[in-house]
Amino acid sequence: MKETKEFQTESKELLNLMINSIYSNKDIFLREIISNASDAIDKYKYLELTSEGKVPSKNYEIYISLDKKARTITIKDNGIGMSKDDLIKNLGTIAHSGSKEFLNKIKEAKEKNELDIIGQFGVGFYSAFMVADKVEVLTKTLNDQGYLFTSDGLNTYTIEEKEKEDTGTVITLYLRKSEGEEDYDKYLDEYTIENLVKKYSDFVRYPIKMDVTEKTPKLDKDGKEIKDEYEDKVVTKTLNSMVPLWKKNKKDVTDEDLNKFYKDNFMDFEDPLLSLNLNVEGVVSFNSLIFIPGRAPYGLYSQNFEKGLKLYIKGIFIKDKCKELVPDYLKFIAGLVDTNDLSLNISREMLQEDVRLKKMSDIIENKVISNLKDLKSKDFEKYLKFYKLYGDHITFGIYSSYGFKKDLLSDLLVYKSLNNENYIDLKTYKEKMKDGQKYIYYACGRSEESIKLLPEIEKYKQQGIDVLFFTKEIDEFAIKMMNDYDKVSFKNITDHDKEDLSKEEKDKLDIAEAENKELIDNIKEALKDKVNDVTLSSKLVDSPVCISTKDGLSLSMEKTINEVPGDEKAKANKVLEINPNHAIFKALDKIKADKDLVNKYSSVLYNEAMLLEGFDIEDKESFVKNLNELIENSLK
């Protein structure tokens, strides 16, 4: 019985896009169908290998045939096949999240008029309709009869029972008529198909065969070649080289091979920033290809982003995103692992707990990191490209391991700094430290510019001491976890303490504070709701005041913590530091007994300091009122 069904809405959208062919590279339909065929064979082979002889073995292959008269291309596989339900589920609806993602991308790109960026997305079965106006899928699973799915890709498809002997799937594409620049006839050309297979499907692990006509020397009746005489002969040819790239001898694999493999298999159209080809033998043995994408993978910053590498066991595809193979902070890497160490029968639950995967993950992590260190020393420009894309993740690696990974990762950190236009690393900072400098100094802010405005930075500038610029929220949190770099501790320049001062300087400050006690106490009283303390400072050069913090929680950390929704709010221990050498301080001394005036000046100075720390003024109305009164007074 023939049943007619409607495509799911999303499928219709995708089909529509395919037919109206916004997609410029029609050639990829063949890659998509072959890739499905290869997956289907993987699945069958997996059944065979785990069935203890119950599922018969086969000569696995994918067979392409061309019929010029009927204008069809047929792609046949002897894989797992599809049941009737599978046909409805897999071909009647968008089965694969990649296709959904593709749809979203196209919509986005359409809005921005950037259709050419779509490049090489995995678009799956529906891509057949770019070149065909009718597609037939004849398929059979192990213990079922065969079914024929037919569709013109418009609104509906039909399914009917149909005789088929062997398990597997035969897909027949009825090519569209060539029109103007749209040439579909070329797909009936053996040479075109051969080239497309070589280009896109060379590493498919099963033979992709086709009957091709070759000119062969004519033979005489004794079977000897006749010189210069040829005849056409049909031979079955395997079009792909089959050996997966990761199984090839390393020295035979070029960077171009790796780049191409990455682009063909990981839905990207840009070369990766870094490719690794690993053959590991030891406690665990595996082959692996690892790539760092040249742009952040789609959805990397969303909570639903799935990290992981493709997992193959004994050359058979097992799963797409094996998350156990990648530590969280490296979730941006793509690639695959093929190992003989695991059994094909391993269950998903066992996989999660398998210590061998953890070992592989550790090895991959170390290799990625050591290669990044290499890149950093050999091609700093390129490393910076990496760092701008994924530097936060590396920093997060230190933070999320509570500093445990600092030895592994700290040499990958780079920052801009007061004395350097370009980025520098901690090692360079340390080497350039001044005689007697005890700390690695840093300052936090939303941008380089805002850090340069911090009043506290003046002294460092004057003394030529370098200060690292932390412009990412995570930077300071990670540094707190590290505690020190190569035995030198870090210090935020806005920390309130006198550890940096010589005994002489300390004594001098103490005396000045004692002498100005009344003024300082009055300012303290004026700002009692805002700051925990008011002191004199030796940090400032040109500015009258700054806000520092005590006890390790800086203003920028306070801000970050408080941006996270929740009841618990953090409160930094703030101190207003006053520059005793500044004219304002000297002038304030004259009005110190007038509490009302001290209140107004203190409030303006506090707000000024907070502004430079990168905060907004809390009570704008009273700030402006105070300021106006003070201006008025001064003009009287």
Pick 93 or 419: Cβ nearer ligand ADP: 93
Q: What are the residue ranges of helices labelled H in 164-239?
A: 190-201
DSSP E strands in 185-266: the ranges are 208-219, 225-238
Pick 61 or 613: Cβ nearer ligand ADP: 61
Rounded to the nearest whole angstrom, what is the least distance from the CB of residue 35 to ligand ADP in the complex? 7
Strand 3-6 vs strand 146-151: parallel, antiparallel, or unpaired? Answer: unpaired
- H or E segment at 338? strand 334-339
Residue 321 · residue 392 · CB < 8 Å: no
Pick 82 or 536: Cβ nearer ligand ADP: 82
- H or E segment at 85? helix 84-86
Cα(4)–Cα(21) distance, integer angstroms: 25
Residue 55 · residue 203 · CB < 8 Å: no
Single residue of 17, 71, 124, 523 touching ligand ADP by CB under 6 A: 124
Rounded to the nearest whole angstrom, what is the least distance from the CB of residue 613 to ligand ADP in the complex? 51
User: Which token pair is 147?
Assistant: 């079914």
Single residue of 77, 202, 324, 558 touching ligand ADP by CB under 6 A: 77
Window contacting ligand ADP (CB under 6 A); options: 33-41, 262-270, 453-461, 483-491: 33-41
User: Using H for helix, E for strand and C for coil, what is the string for 274-287?
Assistant: EEEEEEECCCCCEE
Q: Does 95 bind ligand ADP (CB under 6 A)?
A: yes
Cα(464)–Cα(181) distance, integer angstroms: 67
At 165 the three-state DSSP class reads coil
Rounded to the nearest whole angstrom, what is the least distance from the CB of residue 240 to ligand ADP in the complex? 16
Pick 29 or 442: Cβ nearer ligand ADP: 29
Rounded to the nearest whole angstrom, what is the least distance from the CB of residue 37 to ligand ADP in the complex? 5
Q: Does 80 bind ligand ADP (CB under 6 A)?
A: yes
Cα(184)–Cα(71) distance, integer angstroms: 9
| Cα 442 from chain centre | 28
Rounded to a whole number, what is the distance in angstroms from the first to the last CA of the chain? 101
| Closest listed residue to residue 26, CA positions, set 110, 108, 105, 126 | 126
Pick 89 or 586: Cβ nearer ligand ADP: 89
- H or E segment at 67? strand 62-67
Rounded to the nearest whole angstrom, what is the least distance from the CB of residue 377 to ligand ADP in the complex? 40
Cα(124)–Cα(14) distance, integer angstroms: 10
At 18 the three-state DSSP class reads helix
Rounded to the nearest whole angstrom, what is the least distance from the CB of residue 300 to ligand ADP in the complex? 21
Cα(270)–Cα(117) distance, integer angstroms: 10
Pick 91 or 527: Cβ nearer ligand ADP: 91
Cα(564)–Cα(557) distance, integer angstroms: 11
Q: Is 531 exposed, middle or buried (0-12, 13-18, 19+ CB in 10 A)?
A: buried
Pick 145 or 428: Cβ nearer ligand ADP: 145
Q: What are the residue ranges of helices labelled H in 117-237?
A: 128-131, 190-201
Rounded to the nearest whole angstrom, what is the least distance from the CB of residue 96 to ligand ADP in the complex? 3
User: Site mask, ligand ADP, residues 245-284, x = CB under 6 A?
Assistant: ----------------------------------------
Q: Does 144 bind ligand ADP (CB under 6 A)?
A: no
Pick 81 or 391: Cβ nearer ligand ADP: 81
Q: Does 37 bind ligand ADP (CB under 6 A)?
A: yes
Window contacting ligand ADP (CB under 6 A); options: 78-86, 284-292, 393-401, 524-532: 78-86
User: Site mask, ligand ADP, residues 153-192, x = CB under 6 A?
Assistant: ----------------x-----------------------
Pick 100 or 427: Cβ nearer ligand ADP: 100
Number of shown-chain residues binding ligand ADP (CB under 6 A): 19
Residue 79 · residue 62 · CB < 8 Å: no
Window contacting ligand ADP (CB under 6 A); options: 32-40, 321-329, 475-483, 603-611: 32-40
Single residue of 55, 98, 162, 194 touching ligand ADP by CB under 6 A: 98
Single residue of 17, 60, 79, 445 touching ligand ADP by CB under 6 A: 79
Q: Does 96 bind ligand ADP (CB under 6 A)?
A: yes
Rule CB under 6 A: which of 501-540 touch ligand ADP?
A: none
Cα(306)–Cα(320) distance, integer angstroms: 10
Cα(588)–Cα(165) distance, integer angstroms: 99
Q: Does 90 bind ligand ADP (CB under 6 A)?
A: yes
User: Which token pair is 403?
Assistant: 């500093």
Window contacting ligand ADP (CB under 6 A); options: 76-84, 270-278, 555-563, 605-613: 76-84
| Closest listed residue to residue 157, CA positions, set 121, 181, 125 | 125
Rounded to the nearest whole angstrom, what is the least distance from the CB of residue 90 to ligand ADP in the complex? 3
Pick 91 or 523: Cβ nearer ligand ADP: 91
Residue 77 one-letter amino acid: D
Task: Write the DSSP symbol of residue 248.
Answer: S
Residue of minimal Cβ distance to ligand ADP: 124
User: Which token pair is 146?
Assistant: 């065969």
Q: Does 543 bind ligand ADP (CB under 6 A)?
A: no
Give every CB contact of residue 196 below 8 A, 6+ residues apart in sequence: 27, 30, 31
Q: What are the residue ranges of helices labelled H in 246-354?
A: 255-265, 348-353
Single residue of 125, 187, 332, 429 touching ligand ADP by CB under 6 A: 125
Pick 144 or 341: Cβ nearer ligand ADP: 144
Rounded to the nearest whole angstrom, what is the least distance from the CB of residue 54 to ligand ADP in the complex? 20
Single residue of 28, 31, 34, 36 touching ligand ADP by CB under 6 A: 36
Pick 126 or 246: Cβ nearer ligand ADP: 126
Residues that bind ligand ADP (CB under 6 A): 32, 36-37, 40, 77, 79-82, 90-91, 95-96, 98-99, 122, 124-125, 169
